[in-house]
Structure 1
Amino acid sequence: MSAPAGAIAPELQRYAALDQRLLAAVRGIHILPTVAWPASLETRMIEAYGNGRFALPEVTYTRPDLAAARTELAAIEADAGGSDPNDIDPLGDYLRRTAESWRIAAEMLESVGTAGVTAPSIALYGKPGDLIPGSQRSNLDAAHYFVELSDELGADLLADDSSVDMPAAELRDELAKTLDDFFGAGMIKVEVDAELTAKAAAGATRIRLRGDTSFSEYDRHQLLAHEAFVHSLTALNGRQQPLLTSLARTSPRVTATQEGLAVFAELMSGAIDIARLKRISLRILAIDMALNGADFVEVYRYFSACGQSVADSFHSAQRVFRGVPLTGGAAFAKDNVYLSGLLTVHTFFRWAFKQQRMDLLRHLFAGKLTLHDVIALQPHFASGAILPPRWLPPWMQHVHGLAGKLAFSVFINGIHMNRVQGDELLSSV
């Protein structure tokens, strides 16, 4: 619920009105549901692939008519920019960028089922060849590194994995109790969803678990760190905002930061393992394969050759080909953001610590924001127009522990591993 107009300073009410127009305009834009595959098709194809019968799935999509939404979003972009583009308030810039990203998403969805989805999805989520900020290496380079490292360490790590699989219903009950204790009773519901393609998905007040799968202890930790204490938490904090109620909704432009922050949260809370890093890295390599002509079956076989089960290989390939032709040369680029977002958010945290700006890190949880937004909107955080977060993840509440990790990483970053010799280490202790 937005605050009454009287609670917003008169000079800011224009932005509050634009924000409400924005939310109304995007109400009919649903990215993942539009490109999703029917669960019945997945079940049938997984059984066929498991029996060695490989054929391209036949997927049909319902193409939405979003012309009216695109027109309104273009008008909001223009109105948010003001008469002088060089003198735009950060609130206006936030609204302009957000409206633009939704307009691009609408154009993408109107091309669903064709290769026309590829270009706007790359505009929203980036591509494997993009450079990592502060580096001359690309997302593709990082993906290769983590896959190779996982393969080298895998045999030694298998013996350490003593996790026990639990059914979705059991995990649902465990998560519900933990979330009731943290956010308050009934604030977030946990449900089992047989139609869900991803293993889990989170909104402000609901977390869904895929019904046809079981979960490990690592999965439980990851779901809490990633889905509950980032995706749901930032949405709930966004709902507390009196001025920009759109901060409760994940716009396309914030996806990279939100997913990067969620994976970073796994890292900070000890809920990520090398196999998880391998999985998100393989998706980037698979997007690159698809863009370069690999079809669905070839990408499936790639995941399978990398050790994934039949079902996991199918679901992984399906993520790459959501909304696009399965014959190669096209891809849905969203899975590019998990690793690239992690690396960028990690760099941001180290940079903010070095600048002694822990406030920026806390403000990152005030709603669905990009890293750019957190810096640009600081005057409005300072004035109180944008509220600080009501909830912070457990690992962010222990600032001394977080500062210790960041201080260590900032210093260690200056040590170049390619210059380290084993005998040098032995002689130093």
Structure 2
Amino acid sequence: MSTATQQLAPALEIDARLTEIERGVDLLLNLTPTNAAEAWADFERCDFATAPTLHLRPLTFEPDLVRRDLYSLEVENVTDPALHTLFRVKRDEISRQLTALEDRDSSRFVYGSLQLYGAIGRPLAAVAKELLEAIPPQPPSGRSVTAGAFAEAARAEFDRYRATHPDFPAQVCVRDDVSELMVSFGRLLIPETAAIRADRVEPLLHHEIGTHVVTYQNGARQPLTLLTIGLPGYDETQEGLAVLAEYLTGGLDPRRLRVLAARVVAIGLMLDGADFLEIFESLRAEHRIPTKTAWSIAVRVVVGGGSVKDAIYLRGITRLLEALAEGTSLDVLFVGKLALDHIPLIQDLLDREVLQPPWVRPRWLDVPGAQERLDRLRAGASVTDLYEGDVPA
């Protein structure tokens, strides 16, 4: 432990407690439907006429007791100005997460989601509309792989990291209680019923393992443990990085770009009062989104009572492209899970040797052609510039 780290020891105790509390709250898992496969089967059986009933897992904690623990932390005694601000904002974010979870399946939930992830501004809505108009609907995709096959590919990807970093943990879980591919606290969770397009396997490995797991493991080797679960508002930059990983490895195809845009459009419809069936039909009829994809987008938007989280993918890559054009280095973003706004703080902690440089470098930076693509983006690019033409069926 460096001298600077020792001086911050009292602050790092609060950091550790904030991390422990958020782990217990587990917002991502507690907003993931447990019955998505059954709900889809029922929806298909009724010819898409009846909105699904989505089940969320019961909370395993008492929100009021968690709040008591949260506000018993003596953040006011942290003397480092940057960390004091960071902890105070993080405490507020966890409190908002608790409120959102308490408000699940009520009309209040959407307001909590807006506080956590932000509204859709006109520029973002315009970009989404432009993408859907500029990119023609794609023909049906080809072969897909099962959850088991994807899990094998994921283990092989973990092995590639372990070849250079033997201590790199590998946790791949195929589960029947998650509806989407996700990384939760460094674990890759795969839905048991997943059918993943074969041409999406490699981009998804770079997205989930090369970005979400790598930044988690880099954060786990820092004294500031919040870098594992994420500094306040980290999600947007993290998903922007993950989408960038897809692009740099040649995997951000037109179908994927249309999905990212359609998510923003769907959120706009939800905020304007549209229900599940209206969102689903609008995506299919007006934007020619494939039926199963339209279902998935609509479910993610209405879950809990209305979620705006999925706007962070398109907003995240948009802001990251702006930052790259301004000369921002990606390296600091690999230290852990942080937002673009945190770069000055993290750089200061690196300079003072409180933090160390990233332990693992994402493999997607070294894929053939990645650096050339990155150089083009640094010269200035918009999200629509990421569209490189149609893909074969």
TM-score, scaled to structure 1: 0.79
| Correspondent of 1:392 among 361, 367, 379 | 361
* CA distance in structure 2 between the aligned counterparts of 1:53 and 1:413, rounded to whole angstroms: 39
What SS does structure 1 have at the residue aligned with 2:189?
strand
Code of the aligned partner of 2:115? A
C-alpha deviation, 1:58, in angstroms: 3.5
What SS does structure 2 have at the residue aligned with 1:352?
coil
What SS does structure 1 have at the residue aligned with 2:326?
helix
**1:31 and 2:27 aligned:** yes
Residue 258 of structure 1 is matched in structure 2 by: 238
What SS does structure 2 have at the residue aligned with 1:333?
coil
Q: Cα gap change, 1:57/1:195 in structure 2, threshold over 3 Å: closer, same or farther?
A: same
* CA distance in structure 2 between the aligned counterparts of 1:363 and 1:15, rounded to whole angstroms: 22
C-alpha deviation, 1:287, in angstroms: 0.8
C-alpha deviation, 1:111, in angstroms: 1.1
* CA distance in structure 1 between the aligned counterparts of 2:77 and 2:374, rounded to whole angstroms: 37
**1:320 and 2:316 aligned:** no
| Correspondent of 1:46 among 16, 22, 41 | 41
* CA distance in structure 2 between the aligned counterparts of 1:285 and 1:53, rounded to whole angstroms: 20
Structure 1 segment 270-349 matched on structure 2, within 5 A: 270-305=250-285, 306-324=287-305, 331-349=306-324
* CA distance in structure 2 between the aligned counterparts of 1:53 and 1:201, rounded to whole angstroms: 26
1:317-368 deviation digits (Å, cap 9, x = unpaired): 11001111xxxxxx21110101001111121122125xxxx3xx21110111
Residue 364 of structure 1 is matched in structure 2 by: 333
C-alpha deviation, 1:126, in angstroms: 1.5
Code of the aligned partner of 2:157? T
Residue 177 of structure 2 is matched in structure 1 by: 195
1:149-207 deviation digits (Å, cap 9, x = unpaired): 122xx46xx49x7x532222122212211221223567213232233211x11245421
1:364-399 deviation digits (Å, cap 9, x = unpaired): 101111111122221210121111111111243589
| Correspondent of 2:350 among 368, 381, 397 | 381
Q: Cα gap change, 1:405/1:15 in structure 2, threshold over 3 Å: closer, same or farther?
A: same
| Correspondent of 1:179 among 155, 158, 171 | 158
Residue 142 of structure 1 is matched in structure 2 by: 127
Code of the aligned partner of 2:335? A
Residue 193 of structure 2 is matched in structure 1 by: 212
C-alpha deviation, 1:236, in angstroms: 0.4
Is the 8 Å Cα contact of residues 76 and 99 (structure 1) preserved in structure 2? no
Contiguous gaps of at least 5 residues in structure 2 = 386-393
What SS does structure 1 have at the residue aligned with 2:8?
helix
Bigger RCO (CA 8 Å, 6+ sep): 2
* CA distance in structure 1 between the aligned counterparts of 2:55 and 2:369, rounded to whole angstroms: 52
Is the 8 Å Cα contact of residues 325 and 380 (structure 2) preserved in structure 1? no
1:226-258 deviation digits (Å, cap 9, x = unpaired): 1010000000001111x2112111356211111
**1:408 and 2:376 aligned:** yes
* CA distance in structure 1 between the aligned counterparts of 2:238 and 2:311, rounded to whole angstroms: 13
Code of the aligned partner of 2:51? L
Code of the aligned partner of 1:302? S
C-alpha deviation, 1:259, in angstroms: 1.0
What SS does structure 1 have at the residue aligned with 2:174?
strand
* CA distance in structure 2 between the aligned counterparts of 1:49 and 1:68, rounded to whole angstroms: 42
Look at both structures and tell me which one has the larger radius of gyration over its CA atoms: 1
**1:67 and 2:42 aligned:** no
How many residues are aligned here? 377
Residue 105 of structure 1 is matched in structure 2 by: 97
TM-score, scaled to structure 2: 0.86
What SS does structure 1 have at the residue aligned with 2:172?
strand
Code of the aligned partner of 1:298? E
| Correspondent of 1:224 among 195, 205, 225 | 205
C-alpha deviation, 1:102, in angstroms: 1.2
C-alpha deviation, 1:78, in angstroms: 4.5
Structure 1 segment 16-27 matched on structure 2, within 5 A: 16-27=12-23
Is the 8 Å Cα contact of residues 4 and 353 (structure 2) preserved in structure 1? no
* CA distance in structure 2 between the aligned counterparts of 1:249 and 1:55, rounded to whole angstroms: 37
* CA distance in structure 1 between the aligned counterparts of 2:49 and 2:156, rounded to whole angstroms: 43
Q: Which piece of structure 1 moves more, 119-128 or 23-32?
A: 23-32
* CA distance in structure 1 between the aligned counterparts of 2:369 and 2:290, rounded to whole angstroms: 41
Structure 1 segment 147-162 matched on structure 2, within 5 A: 147-151=132-136, 154=137, 158=139
Code of the aligned partner of 2:348? P
